[in-house]
Amino acid sequence: MAAAARELAGVSPTPRLDAEVLMAHALGVSREALLLGRLDDAVPDAFAALLARRLTHEPVAYITGRRAFWTIDLTVGPGVLIPRADSETLIEAAIDHFAGRAPVRILDLGTGPGTLLLAALDQWPQATGLGVDASAAALDYARRNAQGLGMADRADFRLGDWAAGIGGTFDLILANPPYIGTREPLPREVRDHEPGTALFAGEDGLDDYRAIVPQLAPLLAPGGAAILEIGATQADAVSELLAAAGFAVALRRDLAGHARALIAS
């Protein structure tokens, strides 16, 4: 693992972590089990091929096929956006908003592999929800994740264009839309591997907010909240869109102190 970490130093900002995760995957155990009791094992034959893939900047989550998020583990792969820890800020904001009560119906716009919806359903076991995405491949992952987590009877998924055609109201609306400008630089592992349709949103990165915000008010139940992930420099621009649609808006920062989510109510 030390040798692999040295090789990965020019590829990844977390070379030792990557080496540990890949080694654990090659051994078929958790990273914790590896570190606590398997460090004397022989290097498995599969490790070299996994390392070679990571050295081409392929994301670790695509190599292992798994990504932890909030309290759940998700299956992921090419064609689907990889969940980021920063997006957990939206779940934290939702918990604070509901303050001891629970949302009954949850809508996740741009659900990807079911990330925010399934995390919210795990947080509130009595809730049900709908996840919408424009990618059939992403929805396939979402349905498999719901099945694997025992939530298939509580989570429905639909191919769609944001909230177009959706009826009824929801206590909690979550959205992590594309918000990167088309000319913004990205790390190779993101630019070359993750789907551009889940990343880019026009020249200023705001195109999808302009589509989503006008759809929110009719769908939000009284006392509910719509929580949108934003890029670190987009708080003012997206807040203006929400305020113009009649919402009161609050900002939530992630653990690094960056603007990460807007809570509209």
pLDDT averaged per 10 residues in sequence order, the chain, 265 residues: 97 97 98 96 97 98 97 96 97 96 97 98 98 97 98 98 96 97 91 92 96 98 98 97 98 97 98
Query: Which residue range forms the structural domain that includes residue 114?
Result: 67-264
pTM for this entry: 0.94
- Is residue 51 a part of any domain in this protein? yes
CA distance linking residue 261 with residue 251, whole number of Å? 6
Domain end residue (candidates: 56, 75, 96): 56
For position 183, what pLDDT does the model report?
87
What 3-state class would DSSP assign to 103?
A: coil
For position 178, what pLDDT does the model report?
95
What 3-state class would DSSP assign to 97?
A: helix
128-133 and 66-69: which strand pairing?
unpaired
Q: Do residues 32 and 119 both lie within one domain?
A: no
For position 141, what pLDDT does the model report?
98
Q: Do residues 132 and 90 both lie within one domain?
A: yes
Q: Do residues 166 and 216 both lie within one domain?
A: yes
- Is residue 62 a part of any domain in this protein? no
Q: Do residues 31 and 155 both lie within one domain?
A: no
> For residue 233, what is the domain's CATH number?
3.40.50.150
- Is residue 61 a part of any domain in this protein? no
- Report whether 253 contacts 92 (CB < 8 A): no
Contacts of range 179-184, beta carbons closer than 8 Å, 24 or more positions apart: 179/205, 179/206, 179/208, 179/209, 179/229, 179/230, 179/231, 179/234, 180/205, 180/231, 181/205
Provide the domain count of the chain: 2
How many CA atoms, within 13 angstroms, populate the side-chain half-sphere of residue 40? Answer: 2
Distances (CA, A) of 49 to 19, 44, 53: 12, 10, 6
- Beta bridge mates, 66: 75
Q: Do residues 156 and 31 both lie within one domain?
A: no
**pLDDT tens-digit map of 87-116:** 999 999 999 999 989 999 999 999 999 999
Q: Do residues 222 and 199 both lie within one domain?
A: yes
